[in-house]
Amino acid sequence: MGIAIQQTAKMEYRRLGESGEQVSAIILGAWQFGKANWTGVEDQESIATMQAALDAGINMIDTAAAYGDGYSEEIVGRAVSGRREEVLLASKCDGDPNRIRDVIDKALKRLQTDHIDLYQIHYPLPKYPVADAVGAMDELRQAGKIRWIGVSNFSLPQMQEAVRTARVETCQPPYNVFWRQFEDDVLPFCQENRISVLSYSSLAQGLLTGKFRKREDIPHDIRSRNKLFAEGIFEQCVEVVEMMDVLAQQYDRTHAQIAIAWALQAPAVTAPIVGARNRRQLEGNLGGVGFRLSDEDWQKLSEAGMRISNQLNFDTNMWGYAPS
């Protein structure tokens, strides 16, 4: 629609669990910086994007050992070198309690730091008790290698077991207009227990940017496996994107900014994690802070997205496979 990028608003900050820290209203996701499964990502631009994010007031970067087999952590470490005091580093490992103790030192080396602020269990692994995995994370906390424990992709029973074992500061579920699996149980549990929700896939793998309107627009990368791109579902998502055309015009914002504002207004969300391949995408995303949808518009968009969410099969995860 040719809507211009808005002047970036002053960054907002929100309480991070019971940590005593404040986290920026947008967190920069670093999956794409690991390059694996992504196209058009260059290290120099990745580093410049992260540094621009810090300049704009974003104070958390979220990465994981699984992103490019540690390469994302390495690039993040290079980007924040000399600026460590400005950023809360968040990373993730798998839920094998035996490996958690081993992989932390590799992560610290790649990130060029002596501690990780927020260390998260990326996926719970069914063959290991949640209590064992969280217990291993708590050992790292007591040793000073991490400051806070987080979890990702946990169900309500898994969350309940986790908090019985140690203090959990954050939960990272996939959550956006279309993806509402955790809305009725995990998110209220987090609110009740003062656990911050750092939602990922905030732009629904790019669907909520308005770039993908036809099946031939679907990118030939890992996103093509996402359930939202499945035949029959994708077409309904496009109908919601067309509805967002009106909102984008009404608020003089981009589709991505509307989607980010929607997430920021969700009652249980502390801060959405939003990726950016370059500084231009980052600049656009920053415009999601500093304005609000009307209650009526937020509700209409929520209801439209929920009609799609209700059709999705959540027996595994958004990519259609389950961790073993």
Annotated catalytic residues are 67
Please, which residues bridge with residue 89 across strands?
61
Residue written as token pair 């990373």 = 91
Question: How far is it between the farthest Cα atoms of the chain?
Answer: 53
C-beta neighbour count of 125 within 10 angstroms: 18
Q: What angle do CA 165, 196, 272 make, to 5 degrees?
A: 135
Determine contact, residues 263/202, Cβ cutoff 8 Å: yes
Q: How many Å apart are CA 108 and CA 292, to the nearest integer?
A: 38
Nearest 10 degrees: Cα torsion 127, 131, 132, 133: 80
Q: What angle do CA 187, 188, 192 make, to 5 degrees?
A: 120
Q: How many Å apart are CA 274 and CA 194, to the nearest integer?
A: 22
Give just the sign of the alpha carbon dihedral 179, 181, 183, 187: negative
